[in-house]
Amino acid sequence: MCGIAGFTILEQDDPYTSVSQLHRMTGSLFHRGPNAEGLYLDERIALGSRRLSLVDISNGSQPFYNENRTVVVIYNGEIYNAPALRKMLANKGHKLYSACDGEIIPHLYEEYSTDFMSRLDGMFAIALWDTTCKRFILTVDQAGIKPLYYTQKEKRLIFASELKALFSIGGARPPIDPVSMLSYLKYKFIPAPCTPYTGIQKMMPGQTLVWEDNRLVADRGSIPIGHSDGGDLTELLETAIKTTTMSDKRVGCLLSGGLDSSIVAAVIANELPNAPIFGVGYPGRLEADETYFAAKLCKELGMDYCQVCVGPADVPANLDEIVWHLDEPNQDPITVPYFLLLRQVKESVSVVLTGDGSDEFFGGYQRFAVWDAESSSNLDAYGNELFLFRLEELRQDFTEAYRDAFERLASEQSFPQIHSLQSCMAWERQYRLPAYHLNRVDKLSMAWGVEARVPFLRPTVTNYALRLSAHELRNQQTEKVKLKEAFRGRLPAWLLERKKQPFTFPISHWLRTELQEWSKETLLYSASPVHAFVDRTYVACLIDQHHAAQADHSHKIWSLLVMDAYLKQN
């Protein structure tokens, strides 16, 4: 829906400087909300937003206030149960003047104080200022769909939807955190609350911060998604998908050809039969190309299928811009096709639904198969599937300057709480899903002023999934057992019986062919900043072995290319 930013103000601060700083922060988020800017400033706080108008386009300007304007709110996201909450608030005597979902937030706060966010069904990052008791609240949704970064500086709290907005207000940029960069090489992402920079944190899923008297007085940490009494999964999902389409602008759907996005597309076909379906293809008959299956499903559903073709030349041409939008290094190779796909989406729609989040709740990933049989080596096998660079593999290759950072990371236990399929999935929901997947979903859709929504992460669906046993999630190497049962008869048998294939692009093939020289020029022939973290001779070994087909090092090479682009920009 938009981007938000702001900061608390000290008595000695120059008000004219505060206005200028706030404008710079919101200006850096223009791509997230090209339709309008909203500002609020008083002697204690500065709040700003950029709006992407999707619901009640003419009346939904921010900030939002209560009746006497003592509670001020800016927010990013969508609240899907806003109609029900609006009715409840009206019955309690609250006056609301628009159909915009965000207008309910200050009134909800009046009713439930710092617990108001537990009533929300949606994706959100919220900043709320109570002018009466001088209380400031930051909170994000329980799945971590919408990002929010913050830092404390000279008794100030500064926050924004994107890191780049924090840097726009001036002052020296904080140094890169070597522990975070090494975490990236290990996990393929930087787990929250860490960020690439020292002194800056990213809010965890479900986290709430309360700021009073120039200090944090409460940090509720991550609130786990609650359980439910169940229900019919088919009905729950259909309702979740249908109600996630709320918008005054046209809605579409992203389709990879896999089960999750196919479920979303099938429901959309009944609800919005004219909605366009978008997918990605690649030149040549490459294994990563699933457009045959996506097009086949669309034909059976009677839907229009729009395909974007991504070639090897698109990778170096767009990587710098993609990394800039992501804000954090992210090894996920699909960032390139996803970015280019959303560019095409923008030409037709402003909202798209995706299938993200299903694997983490319904046991879909192939690496989860290590838990199908009881074994004392399950955790090691899971780590082998999940990790990119093993720390012991890289120990001799790290430069001396970052040896201390390496020792700190090596001393940490990777998975202290994992002992089963369910605990493994819980870890991924807490750390990997927000940083590796949802950061890409948010940043690369908002890069084009498109809002991507994830119906599989609606509370009714996730609460149902949390009730499922390991046997209902996976059974004899079959993933998503319960999900497939729910849509058997509603989706074609050929799709339900397909072996799961990750949504990716042919990076391994291209790094052996068209992109081999580019990877060498980037990582070997120049003074790449990755050499401060990984020895150049080790990088050369990875590239040579991959090109000779002695091993598939494509994901490691790709991670270093992303890291190189990120460090050169920062």
Task: Look at residues 35, 57, 125, 123 and name the one whose alpha carbon lies nearest to residue 449.
Answer: 35
Helix (H) or strand (E) holding 149: strand 149-153
Using an 8 Å Cβ cutoff, are 460 and 240 in contact? yes
Residues 532, 201: Cα–Cα separation, whole Å: 23
What's the sign of the alpha-carbon dihedral 325, 329, 334, 337? positive
Residues 96, 89: Cα–Cα separation, whole Å: 9
φ, ψ for residue 83, nearest 5 deg: -60, -45
* 106-110-116-119 Cα dihedral, nearest 10 degrees: -90
Q: What's at 183, amino acid-wise?
A: S
Six token digits for residue 558: 């790709």
Task: Look at residues 460, 524, 515 and name the one whose alpha carbon lies nearest to residue 227.
Answer: 460
Is 233 annotated for ligand binding? no
Six token digits for residue 26: 């919101």
Query: Which residues are paired to 352 by β-bridges?
Result: 252, 452
Six token digits for residue 363: 């046991």
* Active-site choice (2, 194, 253, 424): 2
Is 421 annotated for ligand binding? no
Strands (E), 331-394: 351-353
Residues 32, 366: Cα–Cα separation, whole Å: 34
Task: Look at residues 48, 33, 61, 78 and name the one whose alpha carbon lies nearest to residue 449.
Answer: 33
Residues 24, 18: Cα–Cα separation, whole Å: 10
φ, ψ for residue 111, nearest 5 deg: -80, -40
Task: Look at residues 209, 149, 150, 220 and name the one whose alpha carbon lies nearest to residue 435.
Answer: 149
Is 254 annotated for ligand binding? yes
Using an 8 Å Cβ cutoff, are 524 and 513 in contact? no
Residue with tokens 């800056």: 200
Task: Please give the C-alpha separations between residue 252 and each of 246, 302, 316, 322, in angstroms, as whole numbers.
Answer: 12, 14, 28, 22
* 414-417-421-424 Cα dihedral, nearest 10 degrees: -40
Using an 8 Å Cβ cutoff, are 144 and 205 in contact? yes
Task: Please give the C-alpha separations between residue 305 and each of 268, 270, 283, in angstroms, as whole numbers.
Answer: 13, 15, 17
C-alpha triplet 61, 67, 71: angle, nearest 5°:
75
306 flagged as catalytic: no
* Residues in the annotated binding site: 101, 254, 280
* Residues in the annotated binding site for ATP: 254, 280
* Residues in the annotated binding site for L-glutamine: 101
Catalytic residues: 2
